[in-house]
Structure formats: structure tokens, C-alpha cells
Structure 1
Amino acid sequence: MADPAPLSPIAALARRHDPDRFLCTLFAPPETRDTLGLLIAFNHELARAREVASNAMTTLIRLQWWREAVEEAQAGAPPRRHEVAAPLAEAIRAGTLAPEDLLGMVDAREAEAEEEIPSRAALLALLRGSSGGLAVAMGRVLGAPAACLPGLQAVGAAYGLAGVLRNTPALSMQGRCLLPADLLAEHGLTPADVARDPRQQGTDASARILAGEGQALLREGRMKLAALPRGAVAAALPGRLAARDLARVTAAGWSAAQPPPPRGLGDRLAVIWAGWRGRA
């Protein structure tokens, strides 16, 4: 039996930084996987803009770097020397990736530069543009019909929301909180309170409300994905992980201060089963 082909550098980046979505790409047509890995790597770079920045201005500067990289590629300028920017420029020039999708993902991330997310509406807008925008871009690569793109955006946003809840303890260690200020205020808290200590009374209740909104996003998305072709299902598979994560948040005994368990066999099997069946 022959050894499996080694991963391309961009696919290896995607697997290292986003193993969830990388697993989902394995159910895409082989010829599309590197492009999907490129999108995943681009999304990771945008997320890092806030993670590695010490202040809002630095975050915005990093995001502007990526905005200009996309715009320069669109204009036919030489690609920037970067392990993601260079292949991204090639894909844009080849017409494989739509610049407007990429720029929308950059724009959405600007909300993360602020000290806090002011409202649930602002958080959902961020997620629809970032994680949801990534799902839409992946769907375009896979030939998803235009009618299915809103469904992919909703499912992608639900996965992003589940990630916000999973990462609450890790974000707190960085002095950050992405739970919306208006929701926390209903429980007598501020984002700064949760950033200092996610064990604050009211954090769990706020997270469960958001989990309910995430489950509503999944229902919205699935209703719009009935016509999603089998070849495009990889773009929707993160929704399977979101469903499991959100169910954990709403289960008895869950705590926002408790680091999430690592991905287990059940999570992987949920993706594999849905991918094998070709069902979103």
C-alpha cells in the first residue's frame, strides 16, 4: 500500500492552526483542498491580528496589511512575500478566490480591535462576516449554488459562536472577553469583569443564552441547505461540531470558566459520518 501523499505547505498550515476545518476539507474534491486550506490559513492570519496585538491600533494595522495584500493582488501587483499572502495573490489573479469575500472577512475582524463587543447584534455581525464569510468563500470554491450561501453563512457563524464560548477561559487568560456587553449587563457584569475572572456569577447564564442563539443559527442554516450538492458539503461540516459544542454549553454542569475538553472521537465521527453521507 502506497504512503499517502504529503500535505502541501498551505494544507499543513491549515491542519496545524485549524484542525477542525481541516478535517472538514477532507470531504471536499481533492483538487479543491489546497484552495480551502488557503482560505483557512488566511482566516487564521486575520484572527491572529488581534491575538498578537497589544492594542487596537496595532490590530487595525495588521488587518490593513491584509486588506492591501488582497487589493494589490486584485490590481495585478506583485505578491507580498509571505507564506499565505503569496499563494493568496495567485488564487485571486487566477479567479479562484473572490476578493470581495476576502475583504469582507477582513472588515468583519475590525470589531475585534475594540475593547469590548457592545451588543449581541454586533457579535452576530462579526461572526457572520468572519466565520460565516469563510464558510461562504469555501462554498464558492466548491460550487455551492447562490441560494445556499446564506445557509452556509449562518452555519459558519454558529461555528464561530461556539468557538467564542469554547474559548472564553483562554481569552480570559489574555485579558479579553468577546461576550457582548449588553447581555452581560443584564446579569450585572461587564466584559472586563469576565476577562478578569470567567467564574463571575452570570457568565454561565449569558453563555447559555448565546448558545441558544447559536442553535437558532444552525436551524436557520440547515433550512437553507437542502439543495447543497454533495461536493460542497465540506463547507457546512463545521456545523456538526458547532451543534455538539453548543449542546455541551446548554447541558447541566457546564461552566464558562472550565477549559473545554479536547476534540474526541465522537466529534470526529460526527464530521466523518456527515461527510461520508454528503449531508450538511
Structure 2
Amino acid sequence: MATQDAVSPMAEFARRHDPDRFLCALFAPAALRERLFALIAYNHELARAREAARTPLIALMRLQWWRDAVEHAAAGRPAPRHEVAGPLHAAIAAGALDAAGLIAMADAREIEAEEEGIPTREAFAAYLRGTAGGFAVAAGRLLSAPPALLPALQRAGALYGLAGVLRSVPALAGQGRCLLPADALAEARLTPQAVLAEPRAEAVGRVVRGLAAAALPDLPGLRAGLRTLPRPALAAALPLVLARRDLGRLAAGRAVGERALGDRAAVTWAGLRGRV
């Protein structure tokens, strides 16, 4: 694991905005790290499309801007002036990132702009597969993961995305957003509006614990399936280490705050031994 790339603009952007995936990316082959940092930066820009927008329409326009940037790169047209669009354009033009997969990641974010929220667990699962799961697939392709393991990487990414949503319920509520599925909330006699009003209420905590606990049985089989992942592609799967730790805490009703030394050490140990 080399660290000289950490001083590059894209590495610094990734470290600042997505420290979890940045740490995982340090275990990728040095020659591919800059491309992976560009993917992390692109994912961050998609994730903040709704957060940074005053209205859902503006969020959709931001997503479309990024789709256009990807399509322009795939068509050989010049990159727009943007600190992320330039490196992303270069990665697409070099064949390191698949344009269709990147566009699908943007498409999956559109549900965040729906004012009624995410209606069902099924829609929630699709959202996680397309966003964090889509990132994991794009990273796996970049790192030459075997095609047969891409579905497992997508599931691993989706679990990391699930943990991220669950641990961020109060922060999202502070932005006026709720990404918990409405049907799970309804079973607890809650609405998205109730979550926004009292994100730390016990009833909300029960929903979070239930969604986290429901995901835990998938982890052993998924980890076993990823044991054959070649070491050069391991960085695409390493977020699963954090997902496992976060989901276990959330299912037990424990708070998940800022990353501690134990989380970083767990990722580092998994990266060094070559197994998630």
C-alpha cells in the first residue's frame, strides 16, 4: 500500500469527502488509484446532488449534468471545466470506467429527489444496489475483478450503502431528508415527516435496528463468496468490512459516530491479509 498518491488533487478530494472509500482505495494497485479516486469523487458529486439543491428539480438537473459529462467523455467530446469532470473524463476515455455503469449510478439517485420519499423496501433495496452497489461494481470492473464476482461486489456495496443510510438518519433529517422506506416506517406507525421531526425517537430506532438486523444473515455467505476475489481487486470489496461493523452496532442499538481507530485498523488488517 503506497501513499504517494495521497497528495494528488483527486486523492485529496476523495480523502476529504469520502474517507472510508479513500482508505479502501489505498489497497488498489498504484497504477489504478487515480482512476479509483476519480470514481469516488464522481460518486460524491452524485450523492450531494440533492443535498446541495434547493429543490428536487435542481437536483435532477445536477444529475443530468453529470450524465451529460459522462456521455461527452464516451463520445470523445471535450470535458467540461470542473475539478472532478476532468479526471473522470480521462478515466472514461482511457477505458478504465464504463460509461453505462456511471450513468446507471446517476439514474439510481433520482429517487432521492422524489418528494414522497422511497415507498417500499423493494425500492429501497434497488436504490442501494444502484448507488453504493453500482459504485462497487464500477470499482470492481476498474480493478479487473472477475465478472462472476461482480454481483457479490454489488451486494457488498449495497450493504455498505445500507449502513450509511441507517447511521445517517439524524444527519439526513437535519437536511430535511428521509431515505428510510415508507412501508417499514408505516409498520412502526411512522411517516417520513415524523422521522424528520424526531429522528432520534425510539420508534425510529426500532426501524433502524430492524433494517440492520435483517441484513446481517447475508454477511457470512457474502464474505465467503468474495474470498476468491484477486488481491488487485480487493479495494472494491473492503467497504464491506465497515458495513459489517456498522450493521452489527446498529442492529444492537448502539450509536455509530465518527470513524474510530478500530474501524480503520479493521480495514487495514483486511487489506493486508487480502480478505474481507
What TM-score range do you get, normalising by the shorter chain?
Answer: over 0.9
The match for 1:70 is: 70
**2:204 aligned partner, one-letter code:** T
**2:233 aligned partner, one-letter code:** A
**1:275 aligned partner, one-letter code:** G
2-structure distance, mates of 1:6, 1:45:
20
Q: Give 1:264-279 correspondences, 5 Å limit.
A: 264-279=260-275
Contact 1:15 1:22 in 2 (8 A): yes
Judging changes above 3 Å, is the alpha-carbon distance between structure 1 residues 219 and 104 closer, same or farther for their aligned structure 2 residues? farther
Structure 2 spans left out of the alignment, 5+ residues: none
4+ residue segments displaced more than 6 Å: none
Q: Give 1:178-257 correspondences, 5 Å limit.
A: 178-219=179-220, 221-252=222-253, 254=254
1-structure distance, mates of 2:13, 2:54:
24
1-structure distance, mates of 2:251, 2:145:
32
Contact 2:5 2:11 in 1 (8 A): no
**2:19 aligned partner, one-letter code:** P
Judging changes above 3 Å, is the alpha-carbon distance between structure 1 residues 160 and 251 closer, same or farther for their aligned structure 2 residues? same
| SS of residue in 1 equivalent to 2:7 | coil
2-structure distance, mates of 1:7, 1:274:
24
Identity %: 58
Report the CA distance between 1:238 and its aligned residue.
Answer: 0.4
| SS of residue in 1 equivalent to 2:180 | coil
The match for 1:89 is: 89
2-structure distance, mates of 1:73, 1:4:
27
What RMSD in Å do the two structures reach over aligned CA positions? 1.5
**Given the two structures, how large is their TM-score scaled by the length of structure 1?**
0.93
**1:108 aligned partner, one-letter code:** A
The match for 2:148 is: 147
| SS of residue in 2 equivalent to 1:128 | helix
Report the CA distance between 1:87 and its aligned residue.
Answer: 1.4
The match for 2:114 is: 114
2-structure distance, mates of 1:107, 1:6:
30
Length, aligned pairs only:
273
**1:112 aligned partner, one-letter code:** E
**Given the two structures, how large is their TM-score scaled by the length of structure 2?**
0.95
Contact 1:59 1:113 in 2 (8 A): yes
| SS of residue in 1 equivalent to 2:228 | coil
